[in-house]
Structure 1
Amino acid sequence: MLQITLAYFPIKDDVAFLAIKQEEVHELSPYLTIFYIHVITSIFVLLIGFFQVFPNWKLYPMRWHRVLGYIYVILLLFFAGPSGLYIGYYANGGLLAQIAFLLLGVLWLFYTGRSVRRILNKDIEGHQYDMWRSYALALSALTLRMWKVVIVYLFQPRPLDAYIIVAWLGWVLNLIMVEYLIKRKKENR
């Protein structure tokens, strides 16, 4: 993801994904700014989430967990999530892809917001599960690209068909996997 993100710097309006979004870039004045807000904040959400979600890797005190958690939540709720909704509204692939990305954005915001409410109510387990869900949705940035390679290699679909498929696979399977892990953890108590 870092390599993909670095392709956008220095800031350009015709590189990588933006090369196929020229209509939006030139006809919607906020598109480019919102796109860059999404790219920049999402990379930090992915990095911070990595160290927050995997408890065996927490090599820092709880106060750092809180600080990083606040940064994750602020970046996601105020920048990465809303900008993702905006970009999702203009997704390639028509209505099916738009619905996939908009639903992803709504769920990402919902689970992250609910996790905050749960930790404020001292529901540590509920907070943990919702943050797992939130991070699984954040990881859709990676799994979407992974599925695209697999789908194109195995089936050679038309590009827009592949995009619609990975728009859903990129996050739905992540969420199913997390729900399975949550169910197993509850059963093993």
Structure 2
Amino acid sequence: MTWLRKPWVGPLAFVVVAFVAFSLPPYLTGDRLQARVQSDWGPHYPLLVMHVVFASVAIITCVVQIWPWFRSRFPAWHRRVGRVYVFAGVLPAGLSGLVIGWMTPFGPVAVVSTVMLAVLWLWFTALAWRAARRRQFRDHRKWMIRSFTLTVSIITNRIWGVFGFLAFSDRVPEEQLPWVLAGISTWAGWVVPLLISQWWLERKPARRGAPVEQRETVPV
């Protein structure tokens, strides 16, 4: 079957589902104390819950959207899921992330990184949507790859956090450690994957006239 020719789909879907299954439930209880990020700022918790819920929608739907077999086999559903990704995922998650990023308790380095991530996430997704509406499908694909990269960067963020802890837990005073780890993970979590995705786009451009590309050219 053609979908088996993309062996990365299954592992990626498994990682995403496992990550959402671990990250989302504490924010569905309504218990502020179960939030993994605590802040004294009153609106922080409801905005954090909003961000986590809608970001979960975004990360699940984006896996479906980049699945080549699904795009070519079900173009109408690709359009519908795309609307969910944009309007019930990235848009509310990005806007709420912009606010809670500005109010993060982890210091100015994390503030700048998180705000930049939210702005770029919204921007890349908007450009991908606009390109699809204009039937500029090669540009749509490129912007969606960048949007997808930022969507799943929350997972790599956690990985860099683990490396940062192992490297600096014995070298940094305990009261400063959260700021150091946040600075490392928030920047490396999205900058490194974005640079890799850009390298991949420039090194392996879409082939002109490829059958899959033709089947993917459906209006949004």
Q: Fold-level match, TM-score > 0.5?
A: yes
Higher RCO structure, 1 or 2 (CA under 8 Å, sep 6+): 2
CA distance in 2, matches of 1:57, 1:181: 22
CA distance in 2, matches of 1:175, 1:155: 25
Are the structure 2 counterparts of residues 134 and 143 from structure 1 closer, same or farther at C-alpha, using a change threshold of 3 Å?
same
CA distance in 2, matches of 1:147, 1:188: 34
Superposed, which structure 2 residues align to 1:13-92 within 5 Å?
13-18=32-37, 20-21=38-39, 23-24=40-41, 28=42, 30-56=43-69, 58=71, 60-92=73-105
Deviation at 1:140, TM superposition (A): 1.6
Identity of paired residues, percent? 27
**Which one of the candidate residues 109, 114, 127 is aligned to 1:96?**
109
Q: Report the 3-state secondary structure (helix = DSSP H, G, I; strand = E; otherwise coil) of the residue aligned with 2:127.
A: helix
1:160-184 per-position Cα deviation (integer Å, ceiling 9, x unaligned): 1111111101100111111011112
Higher-helix-fraction structure: 1
Match in the other structure for 1:139: 152
User: Is this contact kept in 1: 2:106–2:178, CA < 8 A?
Assistant: no
Q: How many residue pairs are counted as aligned between the two chains?
A: 183
CA distance in 2, matches of 1:154, 1:165: 11
- Which structure is larger by alpha-carbon Rg, 1 or 2? 2
**Which one of the candidate residues 89, 110, 113 is aligned to 2:123?**
110
Unaligned runs of 5+ in 1: none
CA distance in 1, matches of 2:76, 2:102: 37
1:55-96 per-position Cα deviation (integer Å, ceiling 9, x unaligned): 245585100000000110102453111001011001133221
Match in the other structure for 1:11: 30
User: Is this contact kept in 2: 1:76–1:109, CA < 8 A?
Assistant: no
Superposed, which structure 2 residues align to 1:151-170 within 5 Å?
151-156=164-169, 157=172, 158-170=177-189
User: Is this contact kept in 2: 1:91–1:98, CA < 8 A?
Assistant: yes
Unaligned runs of 5+ in 2: 1-18, 209-220
CA distance in 1, matches of 2:90, 2:28: 24
Are the structure 2 counterparts of residues 58 and 181 from structure 1 closer, same or farther at C-alpha, using a change threshold of 3 Å?
same
**Which one of the candidate residues 188, 195, 200 is aligned to 1:181?**
200
Q: Report the 3-state secondary structure (helix = DSSP H, G, I; strand = E; otherwise coil) of the residue aligned with 1:186.
A: coil
CA distance in 1, matches of 2:199, 2:69: 20
**Which one of the candidate residues 109, 116, 119 is aligned to 2:132?**
119
User: Is this contact kept in 1: 2:161–2:181, CA < 8 A?
Assistant: yes
Partner letter of residue 116 of structure 1? Answer: W
Are the structure 2 counterparts of residues 64 and 176 from structure 1 closer, same or farther at C-alpha, using a change threshold of 3 Å?
same
CA distance in 2, matches of 1:187, 1:6: 39
RMSD value, Cα: 1.9
Match in the other structure for 2:4: none
